[in-house]
Structure 1
Amino acid sequence: MEKTVCELFAGVGGFRLALERASSDFQTVWFSQWEPGKTKQWAHDCYVQHWGDIDEFTGVDISIVDKHNVPDHNLLVGGFPCQDYSVARPLPGSAGLEGKKGVLWWQIRDTLEAKHAPFVLLENVDRLLKSPASQRGRDFGVILACLAALGYAVEWRVVNAAEYGAAQRRRRTFIFAYSTNTRYAERMNRQNPEHIISSIGFFARSFPIEQNFVVNEEMLNFQDIPTVSESFSFEFKNAGYMLNGQIYTANVKPIEEEPTLLRDILAKNVAEDYYLGDKLEKWEYLKGAKKIERTSKTGHRYIFSEGAIAFPDSIDAPARTMLTSESSLNRSTHVIRDPETNRLRLLTQVEAERIQGFDDNWTDTGMPQKFRYFCMGNALVVPMVTRMGRTLSTIMEGEP
């Protein structure tokens, strides 16, 4: 099988970079990257500067792209936002099931329906398994039901990148789906689901785990997705497998690897612009514990409270999860004590790239300096996908 790839919600190309590091045989035949509300599409332009353009549709709203015109591919990848995945029943005479407007999952679903990629690898935040708060597990249940209805079996795992050697404590849900017509599916279908989760499945091969866990089961009525949206609720664990709507899930513990410390990726001779200067008092307030009386829109008074977080961040541990607001004056921004100067400063753009596993100056392609942090806060941890890419490469080599 050719290792042809379609990359949706591509950002600055984390999936593509990771897969190409895993195997030179991976060939991206199409990608899509479009940032709503942005006049200048900086992330798309960064992607194009690294790999060149494909056609005039890669940098537009994917909802207006005819999915049948997307080139054929054997692997669909993408990191999509965690949104409200509730759906409505089709109206009489309508084309079929649709979710809420603007929810990007449906663009993935529509692409799979049009192109029937044998393999799918997706990334989302870890809370996907528990959302929404009012109906725990519904959103992930809708996604699983859609995949099952399209003829896919599914494996998933929540991966903390630092537990597998990365420089960031970033927890993300990865979803691996594969057509039940593939040889890989034929092999998995003959296996005990517990063995798929523990040792022989896609994620077990990519991210080894300890073997002591309990599997919970649930049946998903994937033939009636609106009912799943209306009433399904289930406590998904951090690993699992689904075939024909039968769910097997367990909380698993990683066999941890030595993480990369923040100290190990720090730049030398950092410019004065990154130091805190006269804003130290404001930073101390933002990072500190606080209790503030607030009034809601309805007039209800309440106490907003939050605990202190480390200030400065330890450089003898992996970084915290980096957000799109990195470097701005806010509580979540990393502040470190530079080991060369013993002064407090922000992370540089290159350090942000290293935390995510990109090459130095990957985003130095003409975009505003602040947007370089935004792109990294949106990105995935490249080495984690490279690990999965190696496993994928072997699997796809076993297909006709």
Structure 2
Amino acid sequence: MLLTYKVGSMFAGIGGTCLGFKQAGADIVWANEMDKNACITYKENFGEDYLKEGNILEVNKTAIPKLDILIGGFPCQAFSIAGYRKGFEDERGNVFFQIIEVLKAQEKVHGQLPKAIMLENVKNLKSHDKGNTYKIIKEALEAFGYTVKSEILNSMEHGNVPQNRERIFIVGFQDAGQAERFEFPDKIPLTNHLNNIIDRNNKLEDKYYYTDASQYYPMLQEAMHSTETTYQLRRVYVRENRRNVAPTLTANMGTGGHNVPLILDYQNNIRKLTPEECLLLQGFPKDFTFPAKMANGPKYKQAGNSVTVPVIKRVATNIIKVLDKEKVMNNIDF
């Protein structure tokens, strides 16, 4: 890579999108997140230099440094199957327009817009409101001169991570030629299997296990036989993942109950995935850690709210390759 691109990250969460871009060689110079616990985890792993904690509605956007790339996984609940799918009627959907406000501020203060933009959301964003939601987003970005492409990528197909997680990625470039040269990453083989990540050998803390004291234990015991896959408890039945991967991890894992996927260990014990295993199933490295005294509820929520890091890295790498090539072709200094 010929230079380091300055990246700003909106709705940064615990930093999965930031980490993917850092791994691709970019430099994160500004990030924003409003969830208090997510900010604690972010600072634990990235330090405190550039994260601005607080509601994006209240952030001084004119103070954001000049950006080459703007990234963001804006809140998806308003567009997801799991939510009510109110879209822009939901305040979480309305925060998309804060991305537009950041672009306005970049143009006003720095005299130019970020050269590229990457947004991530649930795949149902594309079909929400018969396609009108995506159309509004695309047209809003095009009004700032971006040529926009989008594609749905699955973590187990594009990130070599054993989680069935489909997300839409929206990528835009100020230069139409760059947009034309940009390609989303191809599918790759899944060689990183569940049992590379999940510990089925060792006994963990009691809180992760179902015992015969649970009203669901007989149903779980009857349904769970494989030590190659994951299961989900659906109160009246148990769902086995036939693809031998984890289901889509969600923020609802942090609300307790039966939202955390289950596994059968090699001693026939039934337990929940740990928050740390959930991070690994999002492709975070083992040295990315939660703060020691943080409760499991926020940990699960943060893991489910995050992104799959290797997918982000592959998209980021392709964005940077396009920008680097443009510099070589035109012998310009960004």
* TM-score normalised to structure 2 length: 0.80
Q: Deviations over 1:126-159 (max 9, x none)?
A: 1101113xxx111111101100111111010011
Question: Structure 1, residues 38-95: CA drift from partner, whole Å, max 9, x if none?
Answer: xxx111122122222236x7001111122121111100111112334548xxxxxxxx
Secondary structure of the residue aligned to 2:299 is: helix
Matched, 1:367 2:294: yes
1:272 offset after TM fit, Å?
A: 3.7
Task: For residue 327 of structure 1, report the CA deviation from its aligned partner.
Answer: 6.8
Asked whether the equivalents of residues 162 and 259 of structure 1 are also in contact (C-alpha less than 8 Å), the reply is no
Residue 156 of structure 1 aligns to which amino acid in structure 2?
S
CA offsets per residue over residues 167-210 of structure 1, 9 Å max, x none? 1000001110111xx3xx2355xxxxxxx5xxx5321xx2x2xx
Partner of 2:319: 392
> What residue number does 1:33 align with?
33
Determine if contact 2:39/2:53 at 8 Å carries over to the other structure: yes
Whose helix proportion is higher, 1 or 2? 2
Residues 328 and 277 of structure 1: CA distance in aligned 2, closer, same or farther (over 3 Å): farther
* Equivalent of residue 112 in structure 1, options 80, 96, 103: 103
Residue 287 of structure 1: aligned partner: 233
Equivalent position of 2:173 in the other structure: 178
> Does residue 1:317 correspond to 2:237, yes or no?
no
Letter in 1 for 2:11: F
Equivalents in 2 of 1:50, 1:350: separation in Å?
A: 14
Alignment pair present for 1:154 and 2:156: no
* Secondary structure in structure 2 of the residue aligned to 1:5: strand
Partner of 2:263: 336
Alignment correspondent of 1:144: 138
Which residue of structure 2 lines up, in the alignment, with residue 130 of structure 1?
127
Q: Give, in whole Å, the separation in 2 of the partners of 1:375 and 1:362.
A: 13
Q: 1:259–1:168: structure 2 CA closer, same or farther, 3 Å change rule?
A: farther
Instruction: Kindly indicate whether the alpha-carbon contact (under 8 Å) linking 1:349 and 1:361 is maintained by their aligned counterparts in 2.
Output: no
**Mapped pair 1:271 → 2:200:** no
Structure 1: gaps of 5 or more residues? 36-40, 88-98, 189-195, 209-254, 291-307
Which secondary structure state, in structure 2, belongs to the residue aligned with residue 325 of structure 1?
helix
Query: Alignment partner for residue 167 of structure 1, among 162, 167, 171?
Result: 162
Distance 1:22 1:379 in 2: 18
Deviation of 1:359 after TM superposition, in Å, equals 2.2
Question: Which of the two has higher C-alpha Rg?
Answer: 1
Distance of aligned partners of 1:271 and 1:65 in 2 relative to their CA distance in 1, 3 Å threshold: same
Cα distance change on mapping 1:328 and 1:360 into 2, 3 Å: farther
Percentage of matched positions with identical amino acids? 26
Q: Secondary structure at the match of 1:108?
A: helix
Counterparts of 1:19 and 1:338 in 2: how far apart (Å)? Answer: 35
Q: Corresponding residue for 2:275?
A: 349
Aligned length: 295
Corresponding position: 1:75 with 2:69: yes
Unaligned runs of 5+ in 2: 79-85, 107-112, 221-231
TM superposition score normalised by structure 1? 0.67
Report whether the alignment pairs 1:42 with 2:3. Answer: no
